[in-house]
Amino acid sequence: MIRAFLALPLPDATIAAVTRMADRLDIGRVVPPENYHITLAYLGQQPEDKLEELHLRLEGIGTGPLTLTGQGVDLFGGDKPRVLFAAIDPDPALVALRDRVRRMVRMSGIDLRHEKFRPHITLSRLPGRVDPAERTRLEAFIARNAGVRLPPFDVHELTLFQSTLRDDAPLYTPLASYPLTG
């Protein structure tokens, strides 16, 4: 079984911009810059044969490269925040790619959770409960970065990653990449 997900890797300039945004962030488990990406489908634990079938389907994904932008930061989890993230604008081409990828995943016999798509780059994973001092720091961080706009960036490939959990941060290993050339 392989713990896997499909995501868009980010160009170096975008990683640098997000890293500057997250400078001095010390709340929760901060994501290292080498792990920044935009998830399109979390697959969970899957047998190799299903991932191989998915791989064959994705080889012809060629939707054309995407130009994406983003602005500000936000939280998932409401009153019990779980994730601090940099928001990515839900470009129609990005949403269409995500929908197509999810269809291919399901056609490969892999079940997916139904969830609203809020494209993002995870900056930090938060504990189940955030104490008042951390909450104040979180709110200040969000306010300070509300107007920060990521420069437009091009994405040219989709990547199937293996995720290996470790104590400090997960290790994301690319298993295959699929060009988005049209």
Structural domains for the chain: 2-179 (3.90.1140.10)
> DSSP class of residue 170?
P
Determine the distance from the C-alpha atom of residue 73 to the mean position of all C-alpha atoms in its chain, rounded to a whole number. Answer: 14
Q: What is the pLDDT of residue 26?
A: 87
Give the per-residue pLDDT at 59: 92
Can you point out the beta strands (E) in 31-156? Answer: 37-46, 66-76, 83-88, 120-125, 149-155
The predicted structure's pLDDT at residue 169? 82
Token pair, residue 75, equals 């939280």
pLDDT at 60: 84
Distance of CA 93 to the CA centre of its chain: 16
Give the number of other Cβ atoms within 10 Å of residue 46's Cβ: 20
- Tens of pLDDT along the chain (182 residues)? 999 999 999 999 999 999 999 988 888 899 999 999 999 999 999 999 999 999 999 998 878 899 999 999 999 988 888 999 999 999 999 999 999 999 999 999 999 998 899 999 999 999 878 888 888 999 999 999 999 999 999 999 999 999 998 888 899 999 999 999 86
Q: What is the pLDDT of residue 129?
A: 80
Gap between the Cα atoms of 154 and 14, Å rounded: 9
| Bridge partners for 29 per DSSP | 125
- At residue 182, the pLDDT reads 62
pTM for this entry: 0.94
